[in-house]
A and B are shown apart, each in its own frame.
Chain A
Amino acid sequence: MKKYLLIVGLLCLVCAFELTAKDYLISDFGAKNDGATNNAGAIQYAINFIHEQGGGRLIFETGTYVTGSIYLKSNVTLHLNQGATILGSTNPFDYVKDKKIGWMSMIFAVNQENIGITGKGTINGRGYLTANNMVTYIQTGIYTDPLKYDRPNETNRPQNIYFRECKNITIKDITLKDPASWNQTYDQCKNLYVEGITVDSKSYWNNDGIDVVDCEDVVIKNSYFDAADDVICFKSHSADHLCKNVVVDNCVGRSSANGLKFGTVSRGGFKNFKVTNLTIFDTYRSAITLAAVDGAEIENIEIDGVKSINTGNVIYLRIGDRWGKGKKPSLKNVRISNVYAEVPVGKPDAGYNYEGPVEDLPRNISPASIVGLVENKIKDVTLKNIHIVYPGEGNPMYAKRGLSPAELDGIPEMRDAYPEFSQFKELPAWGFYVRHAEGINFDNITFTALKKDYRPALVLDDVKDASFRSMQFIEPESKGKQQIFEYQSTSRTIK
């Protein structure tokens, strides 16, 4: 805890420093706020100028400023006043695909310090138009891309922000809208402070809310996310780096994928996380997905205070063996507490553009799951004070996975598959499914099924040292039903 306070303190100092710096008006550099002129040249000139002067804020007054790619430099903060919009060009050729980074973006920063984007203005990538213009260029042969899934590769569509190997970053108050790919990525950065931002990111495929890749000392707080893809997403692209010392506090998110996600690319690891007071709603997949499929080490993760409303799945913890190249993944020391969740019968993200794909059918409502590998178990997970309300009504005529050894063993391991709560199709439990795990503690858990389900609430398969304390199962017409089923497992009940 002391460590976290120290980080916050340091970041506050950074902020204070930024506020005292000199202000420059973008209009003085000849930028036009007419919503039509491409100002990339003027903005870049202004950034370079301020950087050379020793730093300061570049102020955007009310108006709409079109731009292509620009690079932020040390000691420069872009400050967008309320009413100011930085609008992405819709021409994909106005964007740079940075050689070091390998992605397109509107606002880049590489190897810079003390940088920020602040103010109540908006950055709008107009990603739908840019992405579709890119599709046209690809279909006419002007740009080369395999069009996998009939869309340009993520790296060939501009993000709003991509910062790499930067230090002391402040992102505060701004609204980030409509990128053509991920929204904002902070990659191998240190001291990242994100506060009070609004993300409206559902204009095209892969519109993640925020991606934090291999960063150290991160705070994300008081922010709101509405994203077509994962909301708050931690990744590890490099086997030699990891995400560590991260605080996420008081955030609200909506997604057609996952709420809080570790992965998918998960090579190095994720350590020392404290996530508090998280609200996830109308979200298609899991409120929380922690996946170590590419050799990542995940440990010391505390998630406390989660409200998950109208969300397709609540918790998914997974070890896989996809791109690890022999690096041994681990997932241990996870504590998830004080969770209230409601899983709906229908599609939680119905009606949004770029709804999450209907897949892995036929299956009844999927349970929360912890699924490791035979030789690589998920260890020491504590689940405390958790209430999940499920619709129940699992119908064996539609999809059935029974409890016989043959049926349980018949659940595929899917070591190298993309990790998703639904990947195993029908699972044998309606509440929680645990496989290949060790030291799983269920403490004060209530699972409610609103209608009768053919499955038991909880299935353990190959679980060592599970413990149960004050378990409650509520399911209509199910008096005397055995709600916990154990297979090749050991457990104890704590009174």
Chain B
Amino acid sequence: MKKTCFLAFCLWICLGSIVLADDYKASLFGIKSNGTTLNTNSIQKAIDYIHEKGGGRLVFYVGRYLTGTIQLKSNVTIHLEEGAILLGSSNIYDYNVTQTFPALVTAYNAQNIAITGKGVIDGQGREVAYNLLDQVHKGLLKDALINDRPAQRRPKGIYLRECKNVDISGVIVKNAAEWVVVCDQCENLKIDKLTVDSKAFWNNDGIDIVDCKNVLISNSFIDSSDDAICFKSHDATKLCENVEVRNCVARSSASGIKFGTVSSGGYKNFKIVNNKIFDTHRSAITIATPDGGAVENILVDSLYAYNTGNAIYLRIGARWNKGRTGTMKNITIRNMHCEIATGKADAGREYEGPIEDMPRNISPASIVGLPGQYISDVKLQNINIVYPGNSNPNYAFRGISNVDLDSIPEMPSAYPEFSQFKELPAWGFYLRHAKNIQFENVTLTSKGKEYRPALVLDDVQGATLSKMHIIDPQKQKKQIHSYRSTNIVQSK
């Protein structure tokens, strides 16, 4: 019986590969490559047809294929040859706007789906967003216009929900009207050699991985106006788990790598290895749990950040947690090199990140929990952060007196951002409500004189600081200040 099963399995594999190898050219379905014919129905017919035939690749050769929302089905691959562009219609009514998450390319409950090739998916997001805005202004669609931008209906680039065995590789995804590539409650997800180029409109997150399991993102390049590589947890009963991010390069007018903001369930077992962040307005890496999510076992290794507004921001908050308590533990960040921007890191780009929380001097890396809710077991090893320095106490001042330190607001329900506390009392690292923290071989360099100490620990219960190197032209100053803290051990 076992043998038969095995043979059957082998046969199934063979059949599977044969079926998957079937290629269908777009022209078979009357799909036009001129860039002006709306192909939505013919592309959907092609996908349905290939799905019903048992699967295969729908192959687009060089050309621009105008379309509205299409839905991928099980065992179907959209293959875009180099020079092929799947071009989003600029008319909002060509999208599935009645869905919670409209998008150009969608899939729901599908298995073995893929988007491959060296071609492009271009959402024409700015045109779609302006078209939507126009419809709202004319009163044809209702929208709250939060921040003077449509709050609903803006189509994402790719939205995949509850799909299994997903492969996105090689393609370039551009110009969504909202988030660009989104995988929500998916399992076995492989993203490789993806390029995201999206500065078309507000909220252009590069990649959003929401409550997914078994994820590998590798060799990808992301240039996005909002968070570049972003993990979210929308569902308190779900979480992001077993995730690896490797060899990616990213740029953002928000954060480079971000956990959150919506973080209901949590994040477990992450390996983020050998990535580069550049010209990024906010943090190279932000891990935030303001909505009750549990964060644990996160390894960040070999992260290089250049011209970035902030290095590291770890935060527990209490925003939409509905009585649940957010936790964060077992975080290791090692072999990191970060150069903090002197000016605005994303200056000149479209949809620059907002200047906010002023006045403040350059903000330090921070680890900030809540009273009684400690961020615990954080290990920082072989870290090198270079700051511009030159803080000016006449512009913004936060001293290290008990009164000054206590005056830093807790802000549990605020949106978590490295700058949220305005001026902080340290130039290198600020820790508050943290437990069991280990600094090993951490070098903090300030290029200009600083009025603040390098490191401030406030309510830190247990920390070892070994091989700390602090370089500040403002000599003869105590560079480490601790307050309300216990078991702080410093060694050479």
Seen from chain A, the residues whose Cβ lies within 8 Å of a Cβ on chain B are 128, 132, 135-136, 139, 147, 149-151, 204-205, 352-355, 357-359, 361-362, 397-398
* CB atoms of A354 and B35 under 8 A apart: yes
* CB atoms of A150 and B27 under 8 A apart: yes
A274 to B320, CA, bound (A): 73
A340 to B223, CA, bound (A): 32
* CB atoms of A150 and B25 under 8 A apart: yes
With A357-B82, A397-B306 known, 8 other A-B pairs at CB within 8 A are: A136-B30, A150-B63, A353-B34, A355-B85, A357-B62, A357-B83, A358-B82, A398-B249
Interface flag for B195 (CB, 8 Å): yes
* CB atoms of B25 and A397 under 8 A apart: no
* CB atoms of A354 and B278 under 8 A apart: no
A110 to B378, CA, bound (A): 82
A398 to B83, CA, bound (A): 19
Given contacts A139-B27, A147-B27, A355-B64, contact A397 B249 (CB under 8 A): yes
* CB atoms of A354 and B83 under 8 A apart: no
The interface residues of chain B lying within 8 Å CB-to-CB of A357 are 62-63, 82-84
* CB atoms of A150 and B33 under 8 A apart: yes
A451 to chain B, nearest CB (A): 8
* CB atoms of B172 and A149 under 8 A apart: no
A485 to B410, CA, bound (A): 56
A285 to B212, CA, bound (A): 42
Query: Which residues B79-127 have CB closer than 8 A to chain A?
Result: 81-85, 118, 120
Interface of A is mostly: loop
Given contacts A139-B28, A149-B62, A150-B27, contact A128 B83 (CB under 8 A): no
Q: Which residue of chain A has the shortest Cβ distance to B304 in the bound complex?
A: A397
Cβ-defined partner of B61 (8 Å) among A149, A361, A362, A398: A149
> Which residue, A151, A358, A359, A361, has most C-beta atoms of chain B within 10 A?
A358
The interface residues of chain A lying within 8 Å CB-to-CB of B63 are 150, 205, 354, 357
Given contacts A354-B63, A357-B82, contact A362 B27 (CB under 8 A): no
Cβ-defined partner of B221 (8 Å) among A132, A139, A358, A398: A398
The interface residues of chain A lying within 8 Å CB-to-CB of B223 are 398
Enumerate 6 A-B pairs (CB-CB under 8 Å) in ascending A order.
A136-B30, A147-B25, A149-B61, A150-B60, A353-B36, A358-B85
Interface flag for B251 (CB, 8 Å): yes
Given contacts A359-B83, A398-B221, contact A151 B195 (CB under 8 A): no
Q: Which residue of chain A has the shortest Cβ distance to B87 in the bound complex?
A: A355
Cβ-defined partner of B172 (8 Å) among A139, A353, A358: A358
Given contacts A150-B26, A150-B27, A362-B221, contact A397 B36 (CB under 8 A): no
* CB atoms of B27 and A397 under 8 A apart: no
A395 to B336, CA, bound (A): 22
* CB atoms of B276 and A354 under 8 A apart: no
* CB atoms of B172 and A150 under 8 A apart: no
Query: Which residues B404-458 have CB closer than 8 A to chain A?
Result: none
Q: Which residue of chain B has the shortest Cβ distance to A399 in the bound complex?
A: B221
* CB atoms of B34 and A354 under 8 A apart: yes
A453 to chain B, nearest CB (A): 15
* CB atoms of A135 and B27 under 8 A apart: yes
Closest 4 CB pairs of A and B: A357-B83, A150-B61, A149-B61, A357-B62
Interface string of B260-283 (1 = CB under 8 A from A): 000000000000000010110000
* CB atoms of B36 and A151 under 8 A apart: no
The interface residues of chain A lying within 8 Å CB-to-CB of B379 are none
The interface residues of chain B lying within 8 Å CB-to-CB of A204 are 34
Interface flag for B470 (CB, 8 Å): no
Interface flag for B238 (CB, 8 Å): no
A357 to B62, CA, bound (A): 6
* CB atoms of A358 and B83 under 8 A apart: yes
* CB atoms of A358 and B61 under 8 A apart: no
The interface residues of chain A lying within 8 Å CB-to-CB of B400 are none
* CB atoms of A362 and B195 under 8 A apart: yes
Given contacts A139-B27, A147-B27, A150-B61, contact A361 B34 (CB under 8 A): no
The interface residues of chain B lying within 8 Å CB-to-CB of A361 are 118, 172, 195
Interface string of B48-90 (1 = CB under 8 A from A): 0000000000011111100000000000000001111100000
* CB atoms of B35 and A353 under 8 A apart: yes
Interface flag for B32 (CB, 8 Å): yes
A358 to B221, CA, bound (A): 17
> Which residue, B27, B82, B83, B118, has most C-beta atoms of chain A within 10 A?
B27
The interface residues of chain B lying within 8 Å CB-to-CB of A150 are 25-27, 33, 59-61, 63
Given contacts A147-B27, A149-B62, A151-B61, contact A359 B32 (CB under 8 A): no
A327 to B223, CA, bound (A): 47
Q: Which residue of chain A has the shortest Cβ distance to B82 in the bound complex?
A: A359
A354 to B279, CA, bound (A): 34
The interface residues of chain A lying within 8 Å CB-to-CB of B33 are 150-151, 205, 354
Q: Which residue of chain B has the shortest Cβ distance to A132 in the bound complex?
A: B32
A398 to B248, CA, bound (A): 11
The interface residues of chain A lying within 8 Å CB-to-CB of B276 are 397
The interface residues of chain A lying within 8 Å CB-to-CB of B279 are 397
The interface residues of chain A lying within 8 Å CB-to-CB of B82 are 357-359
Q: Which residue of chain A has the shortest Cβ distance to B276 in the bound complex?
A: A397
The interface residues of chain A lying within 8 Å CB-to-CB of B172 are 358, 361
A359 to B84, CA, bound (A): 9
* CB atoms of A355 and B25 under 8 A apart: no
B193 to chain A, nearest CB (A): 10
Q: Which residue of chain A has the shortest Cβ distance to B172 in the bound complex?
A: A361
> Which residue, A128, A136, A354, has most C-beta atoms of chain B within 10 A?
A354
A398 to chain B, nearest CB (A): 7
A110 to B230, CA, bound (A): 65
Q: Which residue of chain A has the shortest Cβ distance to B277 in the bound complex?
A: A397
The interface residues of chain B lying within 8 Å CB-to-CB of A151 are 27, 33, 61
A147 to B27, CA, bound (A): 9
A147 to B63, CA, bound (A): 14
* CB atoms of B278 and A397 under 8 A apart: yes
Q: Which residue of chain A has the shortest Cβ distance to B32 in the bound complex?
A: A132
The interface residues of chain B lying within 8 Å CB-to-CB of A354 are 33-35, 63-64
The interface residues of chain A lying within 8 Å CB-to-CB of B85 are 355, 358
A205 to B27, CA, bound (A): 14
The interface residues of chain B lying within 8 Å CB-to-CB of A135 are 27
